[in-house]
Amino acid sequence: MMKIDILTLFPNMFDGFLNESIIKRAIERKLVSINVVNFRKYSKLNNSQVDDTPYGGGSGMVLMCEPIVSAIEDLKDDDTTVILLTPQGIPYKQKSAMMLKEKKHIILVCGHYEGFDERIRNFVDMEISIGDYVLTGGEIPAMAISDSIIRLLDGVIKEDSYVNDSFTDNRLDYPTYTKPYDFRGMKVPDVLISGDHKKIEAYRQEESLKRTKERRPDLLD
Ligand code: ADE
């Protein structure tokens, strides 16, 4: 079973994520184990302090090395991948999820506030960004990354639900339809009700490529 440890100062942010739908079911079925840890408990200072003002001046508070590094050292073994969430990390892609799903144990480190002491970088294996925008902390990125990995784990969802996913072959998804056949004059394409599976597959491949060319030509480069 894959193990994910999440280091955060705001464990309650994960309540909804862990207790609904597919993620909840994956945990109940022991396909993944998720351990949300408040790294404040690793502080050795008064009032469990975890941050302080930056050397050299400037605004905001900076997360200190000790609590985060102690937490990492307490939780990791020799088969652990430690990941720091930061806008400065490598951009996260579907391919990254496919790589991470093979790991036995990952630790996701969520920063918050202005940032963290630079020296923390020496204790992580990789840094990931989920996009070129800045969030208030790494919690939502940790959820996004965990979610994208967990749905790929064996037995979590049916394999045909993700072999055709957007991005899997650098292509966006093809369009899908369900009942009714006619919604306000907009009809389902004839080929989909033809019953000809070869033709349907060809139509879907064609639409997938067309959509990718129109919307995300960068994926085809
Ligand atoms: N923390 C704040 N913004 C982030 C982002 N875009 N990706 C990863 N971690 C973050």
The pLDDT score that the predictor gives to residue 159 is 81
User: Which amino acid is located at 122 in the chain?
Assistant: N
Which amino acid is it at 88?
A: Q
Residue 132 CB less than 6 A away from ligand 1: no
Which of the residues 66, 117, 127, 165 is marked catalytic? 165
- Per the residue annotation, which of 11, 40, 54, 114 is the catalytic one? 114
Query: What pLDDT was estimated at residue 160?
Result: 78
Ligand 1 pocket, 134 CB below 6 A? yes
Torsion angle in degrees (nearest 10) through CA of 110, 115, 120, 123: 30
pLDDT of residue 206: 98
Kindly state the greatest CA–CA separation across the chain.
71
pLDDT at 168: 80
pLDDT for 10 equals: 97
* Angle of CA points 89, 98, 167, to nearest 5°: 85
Domains of the chain in sequence order: 2-159 (3.40.1280.10), 169-220 (1.10.1270.20)
> How much is the pLDDT for 41?
98
pLDDT at 132: 97
The answer to whether residue 119 is catalytic is: no
Which among 7, 130, 145 is the best mutation to test ligand 1's pocket, defined by most ligand atoms within 8 Å of the CB? 130
Residue 37: the pLDDT is 98
Atom of ligand 1 nearest to the CA of 133: 6
Secondary structure (3-state) at 148: helix
pLDDT score for 164: 74
At residue 205, the pLDDT reads 97
CA distance 41 to 35: 14
Which pLDDT value is given to residue 85?
A: 98
Residues of the chain with pLDDT under 70: none
**pTM for the full model?**
0.96
In order of 30, 82, 115, 206, 212, the CA distances from 85 in angstroms are 26, 10, 11, 37, 29
